[in-house]
Amino acid sequence: MKTSRKVVLVGAGFVGMSMAYSLLNQGGVDELVLIDVNKDKTMGEEMDLSHGLPYAPHKMRIKAGSYKECKDANIVVITAGLAQKPGQSRLELAVENAKIMKDITENVMNNGFDGIFIIATNPVDLMTYVVAEVSGMPKSRVIGSGTVLDTARLRQLIAEYLEVSSKNVHAYILGEHGDSSLVPWEHCYVGCKKIIDIMKDNNHPMEDLKKIHDGVWQAAYEIIEKKKATYYGIGMALNRLIKAVLNDENAILTVSAYQNNEYGQEGIYIGVPAIINKNGVKDILKLNLNEKDQELFDHSCEIMKQNIKNGIDNVINLKK
Contacts of 186 (CB under 8 A, 6+ apart): 194, 196, 290, 293
Instruction: State the Cα–Cα distance between residues 51 and 35, nearest whole angstrom.
Output: 19
Q: Where are the alpha helices (DSSP H) in 166-231?
A: 195-201, 207-227
Burial class (CB in 10 A: 0-12, 13-18, 19+), 222: exposed
Q: Is the dihedral of CA 40, 123, 210, 218 positive or negative?
A: positive
CA distances from 90 to 80, 178, 211, 310 (A): 17, 10, 25, 12
Q: What is the CA radius of gyration of the chain?
A: 19
Output the furthest CA–CA distance in the chain (Å, rounded): 59
Q: Are strands 31-35 and 6-10 parallel, antiparallel or unpaired?
A: parallel
The residues assigned a catalytic role are 177
Instruction: State the Cα–Cα distance between residues 259 and 266, nearest whole angstrom.
Output: 5
Closest C-alpha to 36, from 77, 6, 5:
77
Instruction: State the Cα–Cα distance between residues 317 and 308, nearest whole angstrom.
Output: 11
Closest C-alpha to 10, from 34, 42, 40:
34
Instruction: State the Cα–Cα distance between residues 85 and 94, nearest whole angstrom.
Output: 12
Instruction: State the Cα–Cα distance between residues 199 and 143, nearest whole angstrom.
Output: 34
Asked if residue 277 lies in contact with residue 248, where contact means CB atoms within 8 angstroms, the answer is: yes
